[in-house]
Structure 1
Amino acid sequence: MRENIFQLVAGIPIEWQVFVLSMLPITELRAAIPYGIAQGLAPHQAMLMAVLGNILAGIPVLILLDPIISLISRIPGGKRFVHRVMEKTKKKGGKVAKYGVIGLVLFVAFPVPGTGVWTGSLVAHLFGFNFSTAIMALSGGILISAVIITLLSLGMLETLGLSLPWVIGILFGIIIAFYLGGYILKR
């Protein structure tokens, strides 16, 4: 699967690869920044392109969320699916209800699986943030997350001397471990 994602962007300049990868829900900043740095892009360039792509991804998500939810709810079984996703997202974003904008910024800021701009947009929608407030909070969280990921990427690559396949493997391993861990704990 991950090879297909990276093949999707092969052949375009590395800056745009990072931009596109940061827009995808499966990679977002967590994979785009280390990928860009490992491909020889300057850390500040990788971070800038990833931040721009990630913020840009949040805009249509926020705008199209209501129509998409409405459409999916009309499909047989869709209403149940939407309800499950909403409940799961409410649990993940519980602190957002308590802390408001700061809660949303922090929710998106911590670079762990399930807390990026895609989930953050859904959380903002569920807790009734208006569009401009949501974009500002998501952007703040994205910036914090990008700094964390860039610093971690530089340390990981320089200290361990890892090549791109190792970095990608480790990142996807961590993501899979989080999802499996969450699944096992719920049983």
Structure 2
Amino acid sequence: MLKKYLFVFFVSMVPLIELRAAVPIALGMDLPVIPSYIVCILGNMLPVPIIYLFARKVLEWGADKPVIGKFFTFCLEKGHKGGEKLKEKAGRGLFVALLLFVGIPLPGTGAWTGTLAASLLDMDFKSSVIAVLFGVVLAGIIMGLASAGLLGALGVLF
């Protein structure tokens, strides 16, 4: 049983698939819902402070390097432009915008991307981590309901 929990924990840490894949995997392995949900959240949130504190610094460091410079510069510019657009649209609701960005389970909108965006937007650490945490919780609820078939059942009713 511990091996299954560790597997789910590590799957939830992987960029792009994160908790969105770990919750259905946990339910497919017949793990209890609440403990596996908590393990998925912990695994998904573990890299968040590291990403927030170091990803921007690594991108800025590598921006002038010969091989990786163009890609890192592209990432910085794209993140800055996207962040400015998000700030304009969200205004004071940047916290909620980040929460929803992370919480809606679409490819490329997870905790990794949301945390990097928050770092590039110069959001403060505490607000960023809390918004990402609530987003991860929301994504976990949505994926849990979808995995249990409840969203499909509601779609048939309406």
With the shorter chain as reference, the TM-score category is 0.7 to 0.9
Distance (whole Å) between structure 1 residues aligned to residue 73 and residue 46 of structure 2? 27
Q: Counterpart in 2 of 1:100?
A: 94
Percent identical: 30
Please, which of 54, 62, 66 is the counterpart of residue 64 of structure 1? 54
The answer to whether 1:84 aligns with 2:78 is no
- TM-score normalised by the chain length of structure 1: 0.70
The superposition leaves residues 102-141 of structure 1 with CA deviations (integer Å, 9 ceiling, x where unpaired) of 1110110000001001100111011111111111111011
Distance (whole Å) between structure 2 residues aligned to residue 89 and residue 66 of structure 1? 10
- TM-score normalised by the chain length of structure 2: 0.82
Consecutive unaligned residues in structure 2, runs of 5 or more: 154-158
Runs of 4+ with deviation above 6 angstroms: none
Farther-moved stretch of structure 1 (33-42 vs 70-79): 70-79
- Given that residues 117 and 142 in structure 1 are in contact (C-alpha distance below 8 angstroms), is that contact kept between their aligned partners in structure 2? yes
**Considering only aligned residues, what root-mean-square deviation do their CA atoms show, in Å?**
2.3
The superposition leaves residues 46-87 of structure 1 with CA deviations (integer Å, 9 ceiling, x where unpaired) of 211111111112111111123311332232143321232234
Distance 1:43 1:87, change over 3 A: farther
Alignment-mate amino acid for residue 49 of structure 1: V
1:146-161 alignment runs, 5 A limit? 146-155=140-149
Consecutive unaligned residues in structure 1, runs of 5 or more: 1-10, 160-187
Q: What is the aligned residue count?
A: 148
Alignment-mate amino acid for residue 124 of structure 1: A
